[in-house]
Amino acid sequence: MLTSIGRFLRKLRIDHGEILFDMAEKLGVTASFLSAVENGKKKMPAAWNKKICDLYALNMTQKEEFTTAIAETEEAIELNLCGNNVLHREVAVSFARSFPDMDDVQIEAIRKILLKGEK
């Protein structure tokens, strides 16, 4: 079953005149792995987010579509806290614990703060 991220990746490579093999080669994976990601059988590696944005010079609208597709596809996020100081760890853990109880207003406020760092 084609996922949101799969649809985005497929459209991106078609728009660039690429076949599955071409994009897979750019990403340093096999065509079968990329196909599995597109079809929801494998999880998209987190490193692909920046790599795809850079490789395909995504504009702001495309980046937003990509971020939305990732969010729609993800069911769980793993956060590596190695190398972070205590304050960073505390904020990450507090956020994870509070997240299920946050309302849409709180989530939107956090989203706006995070998006400011990308502009």
Show the domains of the chain with their CATH numbers: 4-73 (1.10.260.40), 86-116 (no CATH)
Task: Report the helix count and the strand count for the chain, using DSSP H and E.
Answer: 7, 0
- The Cα 116–Cα 105 span in angstroms is 17
On the question of pLDDT at 22 being above 60, the answer is: yes
* pLDDT of amino acid 29: 97
Is pTM beyond 0.75 here?
Answer: no
